[in-house]
């Protein structure tokens, strides 16, 4: 026969006026014996108070923020237990929770009557920790929305929903679990202006992010002595200026890169979809990073191995102008084997370019400068070009990368090698 029973706060040791930080039940809920009713927090630990009976909650006498002590009325329950087993008039017997210590922390009560959590890194009650653990969620990764950043049941559920909603292969799917970026109110610190990212910035940003986090990058640096190359380039430049063709160092670099790709075919390759095979390409289509007002674009120059420096300089001028005029088509940006990102026209001594997947390497070029180079016992002024080759370490070893970069520098230092 059903019986009305009071549930009181059990023995919580010497603590008095302890805060109620979570209430897990409401009037009308049907609960089982051992279900957590509420969580209390002292200055040292959080404690769950489980129900001593099964039944239906008829009255709730506590809410979050209340201060309670041993014997405080929590709720009134219509119990389905037999009256003989649990006399309603005996509060001491009513509030006899079963121990369930969760953390390696001394229980707050002298008798092991409550489940206790030390708090750890995440601020969460033992019940929420248990809930998270049952679902395989690392509570330290869950962002708490409760008071003082406390993790609630809703937070754990939201964490799972978000994880399930992630596409396969996205950060979570790769086992990369990072903290959410905190939301800043910049206006609190001074005047601001908010501008939307361009479509190109959004697309290239997402690709760069994926490549940065999924490819193990290493960058190899070197310098090429381009004193002779530069003399020849200036001579050519003067000859072709009448035809409005601008011959920049980049045209030479395109040819030098192809020579290096031919000597080191692994750099002209991609991993297949399963990551089990290397696909070696026998064509030489080179992407060139172009800085446009709307963001970064990488149009592709095709069959660079079959073209001369003047033709490449002409195509480079045309395709970078089309990129800046937003006239690039889908086919202009497809089929690339390797990318060159040249910041030489702007400045800088070195940088670490991000690989343009599915390629496995990229060349970054910085601004050349005159440097004293020790040759045959004397320092001589030479024009040195900084090279930065980032490579996918799954495919390319460090020694191979060093050989590739040294060879590239050799070719640029003596462009007669391009004829070999």
320 is a site residue for ligand CAO (CB under 6 A): yes
CB of 310 to ligand CAO, least distance (A): 13
Among positions 125, 268, 342, 405, the unique one binding ligand CAO when judged by CB under 6 A: 342
| Closer residue to ligand CAO in complex, CB, 21/251 | 251
Cross-strand bridge partners of residue 369 = 384
291 is a site residue for ligand CAO (CB under 6 A): yes
Give the interface size with ligand CAO as a residue count (CB under 6 A): 20
Residue nearest ligand CAO, Cβ-based? 344
Rounded Cα gap, residues 151 and 139, in angstroms: 8
Helix (H, G, I), strand (E, B) or coil at 31: strand
Rounded Cα gap, residues 87 and 45, in angstroms: 31
Rounded Cα gap, residues 289 and 52, in angstroms: 69
Among positions 109, 269, 286, 289, the unique one binding ligand CAO when judged by CB under 6 A: 289
Cross-strand bridge partners of residue 382 = 371
| Closer residue to ligand CAO in complex, CB, 143/324 | 324
Concatenating the DSSP letter of every residue in 82-97 gives -TTTS-TT-HHHHS-P
Q: Which of residues 180-209 bind ligand CAO (CB under 6 A)?
A: none
Binding range to ligand CAO, per CB under 6 A, among 25-33, 81-89, 123-131, 285-293: 285-293
Around 149, how many Cα atoms within 13 Å sit in the side-chain half-sphere? Answer: 10
| Closer residue to ligand CAO in complex, CB, 250/411 | 250
Helix (H, G, I), strand (E, B) or coil at 66: coil
385 is a site residue for ligand CAO (CB under 6 A): yes
Active site residue 393: yes
Q: Which of residues 345-374 bind ligand CAO (CB under 6 A)?
A: 345, 353, 365, 367-368
Rounded Cα gap, residues 269 and 359, in angstroms: 7
Question: What's the gap between Cα 203 and its chain centre?
Answer: 16
Beta strand segments in 34-156, E: 36-41, 46-50, 55-60, 67-68, 73-79, 115-117
Q: Which of residues 322-341 bind ligand CAO (CB under 6 A)?
A: 341
CB of 104 to ligand CAO, least distance (A): 49
Residues with Cβ within 8 Å of residue 72, at least 6 apart in sequence: 8, 9, 61, 62
Among positions 132, 258, 343, 363, the unique one binding ligand CAO when judged by CB under 6 A: 343
CB of 255 to ligand CAO, least distance (A): 13
Contact (CB, 8 A) for 368 and 383 = yes
CB of 367 to ligand CAO, least distance (A): 4
Positions marked catalytic: 393
- Binding residues (CB under 6 A) for ligand CAO: these are 248-250, 288-291, 296, 316, 320, 341-345, 353, 365, 367-368, 385
């Amino acid at each position: 026969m059903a019986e009305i029973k009071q549930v009181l706060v059990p023995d919580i040791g010497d603590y008095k006026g302890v805060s109620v930080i979570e209430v897990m039940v409401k009037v009308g809920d049907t609960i089982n014996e051992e279900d957590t009713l509420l969580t209390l927090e002292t200055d040292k630990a959080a404690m769950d108070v489980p129900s001593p009976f099964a039944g239906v909650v008829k009255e709730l006498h506590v809410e979050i923020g209340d201060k309670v002590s041993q014997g405080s009325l929590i709720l009134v329950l219509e119990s389905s237990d037999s009256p003989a087993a649990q006399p309603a008039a005996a509060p001491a017997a009513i509030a006899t929770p079963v121990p369930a210590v969760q953390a390696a922390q001394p229980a707050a009560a002298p008798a092991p009557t409550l489940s206790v959590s030390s708090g750890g890194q995440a601020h969460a009650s033992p019940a929420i920790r248990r809930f998270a653990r049952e679902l395989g969620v690392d509570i330290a990764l869950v962002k708490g929305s409760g008071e003082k950043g406390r993790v609630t049941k809703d937070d754990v559920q939201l964490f799972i929903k978000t994880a399930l909603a992630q596409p396969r292969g996205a950060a979570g799917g790769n086992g990369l679990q990072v903290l959410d970026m905190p939301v800043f109110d910049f206006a609190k610190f001074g005047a601001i202006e908010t501008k939307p990212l361009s479509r190109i910035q959004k697309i290239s940003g997402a690709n760069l992010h994926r490549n940065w986090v999924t490819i193990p990058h290493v960058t190899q640096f070197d310098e090429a002595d381009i004193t002779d190359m530069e003399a020849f380039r200036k001579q050519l430049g003067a000859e072709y200026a009448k035809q409005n063709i601008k011959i920049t160092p980049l045209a030479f670099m395109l040819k030098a890169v192809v020579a290096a790709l031919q000597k080191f075919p692994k750099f002209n390759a991609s991993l297949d979809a399963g990551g089990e095979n290397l696909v070696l390409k026998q064509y030489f289509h080179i992407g060139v990073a172009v800085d446009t007002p709307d963001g970064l674009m990488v149009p592709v120059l095709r069959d660079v191995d079959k073209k001369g420096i003047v033709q490449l300089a002409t195509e480079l001028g045309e395709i970078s102008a089309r990129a800046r005029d937003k006239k690039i088509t889908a086919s202009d940006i497809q089929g690339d084997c390797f990318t060159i990102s040249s910041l030489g026209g702007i400045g800088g001594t070195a940088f670490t370019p991000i690989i343009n997947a599915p390629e496995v390497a990229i060349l970054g070029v910085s601004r050349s400068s005159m440097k004293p180079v020790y040759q045959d016992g004397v320092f001589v002024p030479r024009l040195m070009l900084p090279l930065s080759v980032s490579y996918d370490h799954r495919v390319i070893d460090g020694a191979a990368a060093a050989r590739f970069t040294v060879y590239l520098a050799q070719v640029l230092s003596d462009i007669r090698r391009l004829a070999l």
